[in-house]
Amino acid sequence: MKIQWYPGHMAKAKRKMKEDLPLCDVIVEVIDSRCPNSSRNPEIDQLAKDKIRILLFNKLDLADDERSKLFMEDFHRRGFFTLGIDARNRASVKRVSKLIQEASQPLYEKNRKKGISSQMVRAMVLGIPNVGKSTFINAFVGRSTAKTGNKPGVTRGNQWIKLDKNVQLLDTPGITWPKFEREIVGYNLALIGSINDDILPIEDLVFYFLKYLVRYYPKAILERYGIEPEEGEAALSIMDKIAVKRACIKKGGDVDYTRVSRLILDDFRSGRLGKISLEHPGKWSDEGDEDSAVE
């Protein structure tokens, strides 16, 4: 199943972002720790190739600790400054200011050689919808400056936010990209809520997710639902058992697949299923590899 989501306002936001890029020294990209590859807009690498790059691994508390560590090490080797955060936690977010200062040292040195004493840094904050970008900015600034919401596309316009005499942030709307080249990307973004829930059947999405859980996190199913997947057991069978356990049954005894799918998806997004990552560093593929449950 091919999943795409690129509303018209995103094309306009992308054009505005490209116009503002020359004004910025640092690019701070907020990504979802549960799927770092899928939640990075691949167009940013080309657009911001000459900028200082910072990757903030948000929702770190929801992701697999070991996989997150490997991802941050991998991106660091590729020239990114990386930091894991929980955007809802101000103590966690305070470390970002120090990182921006550290990452900007080459810029300060370059300015000193030109006789420029100012240490003002302008940082553009980017992120696809629903990765917690606006929540991060609000926690960073210490007041509710950027609009937040649990639906993709809440922030619609660029806005400058002055943190102190040395740092200005440019908040930008969350944008995806026109075409997901890999099927796994669409599934992952749908699971974390970065694309509109209404564009695909929730039952198909959760069926995919359950296959992934059986393969990589069977213990999560046992601990949350009291169901231990049997060897080779189909995801549909497990979904039926969860439905019975959680009383997601229609009149007449049929399974209410929409209701049980919503329950499972909400358990994942809220962290009630435990720390789960949808990716780990390795070869991208859509069929039967270590990153995907699609077969």
Known binding residue 60? Answer is yes
Note whether 184 and 286 are within 8 A (CB).
yes
Known binding residue 79? Answer is no
Known binding residue 188? Answer is no
Q: Which of 63, 65, 67, 68 is nearest to 82 (CA)?
A: 68
Known binding residue 133? Answer is yes
Structure tokens at 6: 């690129």
> What end-to-end distance do the CA atoms of the chain give, in Å?
12
Known binding residue 132? Answer is yes
Q: How far apart are CA 215 and CA 292, in angstroms?
A: 10
Known binding residue 167? Answer is no
Known binding residue 61? Answer is yes
Q: Which of 26, 28, 88, 95 is nearest to 56 (CA)?
A: 28
Known binding residue 130? Answer is yes
Q: How far apart are CA 249 and CA 226, in angstroms?
A: 18
Known binding residue 205? Answer is no
Alpha-carbon separation of residue 153 from 9, 156, 174 (angstroms): 9, 7, 6
Known binding residue 174? Answer is yes
Known binding residue 166? Answer is no
Q: Which of 23, 50, 26, 28 is nearest to 40 (CA)?
A: 28
Exposed, middle or buried by CB within 10 Å (0-12, 13-18, 19+), for 234?
A: middle
Annotated binding site: 58-61, 130-135, 174
Annotated binding site for GTP: 58-61, 130-135, 174
